[in-house]
Amino acid sequence: MGYLRRRIRVIKSSGSWKYFDTKLCNKTTFCGIYSIYMRKIIFSILVIFLSGVTPYNVYSDNNILRNDIRTYFSRLSDSEINTLIESGMIEWVPSSVEDFRFIPDIPFRNEILNRIRQLDFNIATECLFFIPYRKIKDSKQSVLIDSFSIATSIEKLSGIKYYSVSQRGERVLFERAEIISGRVSHPVTIVPPVHLIIAQIEDSTLGSNRYRIEYNSSSDFLVMKMSNMERLSFGFIPVIGREALLFYIVIIPTEQGFLLYSNGIGKTMNTGFLRRRVTQSVHNRVVALYNWFKESYSSL
Assigned fold of 77-298: Alpha-D-Glucose-1,6-Bisphosphate; Chain A, domain 4 (3.30.530)
For the cut 90, the answer to whether the pLDDT of residue 146 exceeds it is yes
pLDDT number for residue 151: 96
Instruction: Give the CA dihedral 112, 228, 214, 176, nearest 10 degrees.
Output: 140
In this predicted structure, what is the pLDDT of residue 273? 78
- Ranges in the chain annotated CATH 3.30.530.20: 77-298
User: pLDDT grade, residue 35 (50/70/90)?
Assistant: low
- Which pLDDT does position 162 carry in this prediction? 79
The answer to whether the pTM exceeds 0.85 is no
